[in-house]
Amino acid sequence: MSFINSTLWNDLQVSDATNEKRFPPLGVVDAVADSTPAVDYVPPSAVQAFREASSLRNVEIPVIKDQSVTVVQTPGFNFIPDNLPETDKYSFTAYDVFSGFRHTKSAYANNMVDEKFAVEQVMRNVAHKMGQEIESILSTVLESRKTQALNHTTQVSQGDGTFTFNATPDVLEVSKAAQKETMFYNLQALMSANDLDGMYRLISSRAGMAAQIAESLKYGANNDKNIQNLGFLPLDRIHETDAVSAGSDIFNGYFLRDGSIGMFENFPYDFRNGSEVGGKKWGISDVEIPFTRLRANIYTNSEATEATSLITSGTDSNLKMTHFEEMAIWTRFYVVYRYNSAIATRPNDIIKISGKTS
């Protein structure tokens, strides 16, 4: 009976094992995954197409562009504004992140390391590295979709510190004084003034929000001042990551509205249909792969041979002429984002933000 199959990922969800590898948080992946349910501009038919489409086929989303409407104060038949809509369409790119592992059962015949433990740790290591690769892809998309225009920074800079939109790198720079207890309230007010109301979340470099979180926990509802009522983001809306470096700043990151970006999986034909040929099986994971926040296409082969290539000096001779099992893990996904016909001049709901030290 084969040891490796797609249901191993189900067991891994409740595994409480440890190894030397460290698993830093993947805040970009978490933020985008948590933003996805609010994607309301992709119709259900397109979501289904994302799941089944060939990567060479574009899934196009129709759009009615922002309209300049004519309104007059003199009614009459001689001039009735036509106010015709202008339409457009846009599509998205499919991304592939692929990895896997081999498992040689005979290697554990006389081994102090437990077979199940070893496989679980390899799975976690592989999954986290795949998550880091997804994080890199999503970071590139966020950078390409960051707003290049932002108005009303003067209005939210009238308290402590300043909010300045630097148009050269397209970054909202928050002075040290402005990062105090009112920062999140001012950010929400800023986005509302740019007609981009909604629920927001923050992606931050590591420990970038330490001071704000400490202040929020120190001053709650039953203290002499309640800064939690000043629009402080809940902790599940603050996502730390190593994908963004603080550099010489207190923090760098992105402030994004729910639904501004999302990701949808794609499952090619054989994986959707659960094809089987001999000891080879194609399928889809029942659950999201840890760290990736995506279900994956899973290929397993329980009849692989040629394991003698693993033999080196000092290797257990029991491995000679043995067999191994292997699993391929393939996440293919589309990254979606809101349409903006003039992103160079029209504020967008993904803002690159930097907390300065002065």
Q: How confident is the model at residue 17 (pLDDT cuts 50, 70, 90)?
A: very low
- The fraction of the chain above a pLDDT of 90, given in percent, is 64
Alpha helices in 146-172 (DSSP H): none
pLDDT interval class at 108 (50, 70, 90)? confident
Closest CA to 179 of 1, 2, 356: 356
Q: What is the mean pLDDT of residues 305-331?
A: 70
Q: What's residue 2's pLDDT?
A: 66
* 54-81 residue pLDDT tens: 877 788 899 999 989 999 998 999 889 9
**Global pTM value:** 0.88
More confident residue, 8 or 142: 142
Exposed, middle or buried, 333 (CB in 10 Å: 0-12/13-18/19+)? buried
Q: How confident is the model at residue 16 (pLDDT cuts 50, 70, 90)?
A: very low
Closest by CA to 241, choosing from 344, 148, 313, 139, is 139
End-to-end CA distance of the chain: 64
pLDDT band at 14 (very low <50, low <70, confident <90, very high): very low
d(CA 351, CA 193): 14
pLDDT of residue 15: 44
Label residues 257-278 b or e (16+ Cβ within 10 Å = b). Answer: bbbbbbbbbbbbebbeeeeeee
Over residues 199-238, the pLDDT tens digits come to 999 999 999 998 888 777 776 666 656 565 666 778 889 9
Q: Would you state the pLDDT for residue 312?
A: 59
**In the prediction, which pLDDT does 348 show?**
97
Average pLDDT of every residue of the chain:
88
pLDDT band at 306 (very low <50, low <70, confident <90, very high): low
**What are the tens digits of pLDDT across the range 150-167?**
999 999 999 889 999 999
Q: Tell whether the model's pLDDT for residue 311 goes beyond 70.
A: no
Distance CA 86, CA 65 (A): 6
What is the three-state SS of 288-348?
A: CECCCCECCEEEEEEEECCHHHHCCCCCCHHHCCCCEEEEEEEEEEEEEECCCCCCCCCCC
Beta strands in 69-134 (DSSP E): 87-90, 94-103
Q: What pLDDT is recorded for position 10?
A: 74
